[in-house]
Structure 1
Amino acid sequence: MVEDVICRPHILDRFANFKDLFLGFLKAGDLTFVDRFVMVCRSVWFKRNAVRLKQVSLPYDQIFSDAAARLHEFHLAADPTVMTASIPSSNSWSPPQTPFYKANFDGALFQDINKAGIGVVIRDSAGLVIGALSEIISLPPSVIEVEALACQIAIIFARELGLQEVVFEGDSETLIKSLNSESTSLSQFGHLVDDSRAAALELQSYFFSHIACVDLMRAVWLDFSKAKQVEICAP
């Protein structure tokens, strides 16, 4: 476990109180560990409030992985070397140019049943829905892994429909950055990024695009009634 590797060197440390604990981490000089510690504390605080108010929240065993994913997303957004202009992005949905098709994908969390939902809608250059898919899966460790799985399923679905030129569009800027990057992803969801890239290589032409969350919800979840929907339930 990643958390075991990070925390093991500090397991014998003793601190008088929380302030002493935090100052001890700062004095150790490991800023990466400090960042992770702060994010985990934030997640634990949110979990405590959710339990107190009897609201739905992440299971305890997913707090660390979710905090790590959020920290990774923050670092990507704050990195000045990452040029957002290089990422195809749109504030509103638009149909693809001929001969491309557009596959919009999205994920949703159902923490009360410990499940996640994935939706994919594929349209042609006229904006007509040619296929749609929804799937229920076990709840992954983090939100971004749901998005990464949705992208992977969108690619496989497009291939099954026999499409060769496809734009894959989602609302996670972090995921789209990782998919468009030429370097290997070292993030927690990196293996899912690698799998999606490998699957997309079987297409003749493709690229990954970012879209605002509100417009993606309109593009995916509100249009299932217009499509021939394929239901796939996880075992």
Structure 2
Amino acid sequence: MDLFESLMQELDEVSLQEFVVVARRVWWRRNCFIFNNDFKHPKSVIREAHATLTLLNGENNNITTSPSLTCRSPDVWTHPPPNWYKINWDSSVNKQKYQVGVGVIVRDCKGHVMATMRHNKQMYPDPLLAESYGALQAAKLGVDLGLRQIILEGDSLQVINTLHEDRDGLSSALMFLYETKVLLKQFAKWEISHVRRNGNVLAHVLAKDSLSISDLAVTVEDVPQCIFHLVQ
């Protein structure tokens, strides 16, 4: 974190984005070797990072909104079926501090709060990147809790549509969503759904509040103070 804060003071926005993308590719190369035994030449990091920077804006713009899905999306939160859990997430950004805040809330078929997560992450504060990272963190929380049947729900239609699609890509947002889809396969049953902002208020408040904490806060069968007045 100290390194990133120093870079924020020294680098302009373009250079900082280049650093984030290269660091991401280094991390991706390491995971490919550890988990897939796939060794990539170090030069591929720079080559793929360059391709990512070239395609980042274009690929993000290609994540389009579906008008038909917008019309069908509910405006209020709805209960999941019996023996299912609904995991709602939302993300916020602080562009001045290069921070992304993620809020996640897990509720059962009766609407009871089973768990929450607030996560403050130092990263490039792009809204689409933040929502994609939030989806990944929401899926990870479900896996960590040992849930078997889940509905992953958010208010970013771009992210929801992309999770439904069978494709990956070079941009950081698409890589986060690819990892999310890999994690979803660990559940016995899972669904992805879109809800409008009014139906995602608790996750939104958690995301906003996460920008005020230092790192990570997880609660199990407890309600954080920031949403206590909203939970009935």
Matched, 1:111 2:95: yes
Cα gap change, 1:121/1:144 in structure 2, threshold over 3 Å: closer, same or farther?
same
Q: Which residue of structure 2 lines up, in the alignment, with residue 130 of structure 1?
A: 114
Given residue 214 of structure 1, which amino acid in structure 2 is its aligned partner? N
Tell me how large the CA RMSD over aligned residues is.
Answer: 3.4
Contact 2:114 2:222 in 1 (8 A): yes
Distance 1:154 1:87 in 2: 25
Structure 2 residue matching 1:135: 3-state secondary structure: strand
The match for 1:95 among 64, 67, 79 is 79
Normalised by the size of structure 2, how large is the TM-score?
0.61
Cα gap change, 1:220/1:141 in structure 2, threshold over 3 Å: closer, same or farther?
closer
After TM superposition, the structure 1 = structure 2 runs for residues 44-123 of structure 1, keeping only pairs within 5 Å, are 60-61=13-14, 72=59, 74-77=61-64, 84-85=68-69, 89-123=73-107
**Unpaired runs of 5+ in structure 1?**
1-58, 230-235
Structure 2 residue matching 1:214: 3-state secondary structure: helix
Q: Which residue of structure 2 lines up, in the alignment, with residue 9 of structure 1?
A: none
Offset of residue 95 of structure 1: 1.4
Cα gap change, 1:172/1:86 in structure 2, threshold over 3 Å: closer, same or farther?
closer
Which of 1 and 2 has greater Rg?
1
Offset of residue 217 of structure 1: 2.6
Distance 2:157 2:53 in 1: 17
Distance 1:175 1:222 in 2: 19
Offset of residue 207 of structure 1: 1.3
Offset of residue 196 of structure 1: 0.5
After TM superposition, the structure 1 = structure 2 runs for residues 1-235 of structure 1, keeping only pairs within 5 Å, are 60-61=13-14, 72=59, 74-77=61-64, 84-85=68-69, 89-140=73-124, 142-185=126-169, 187-221=171-205, 227-228=222-223
Offset of residue 213 of structure 1: 2.0
Aligned residues: 168
Offset of residue 70 of structure 1: 6.4
Normalised by the size of structure 1, how large is the TM-score?
0.60
Percent sequence identity is 19
Contact 1:159 1:203 in 2 (8 A): yes
Structure 1 residue matching 2:191: 3-state secondary structure: strand
Offset of residue 104 of structure 1: 0.4
**Higher relative CO (CA 8 A, sep ≥ 6), structure 1 or 2?**
2
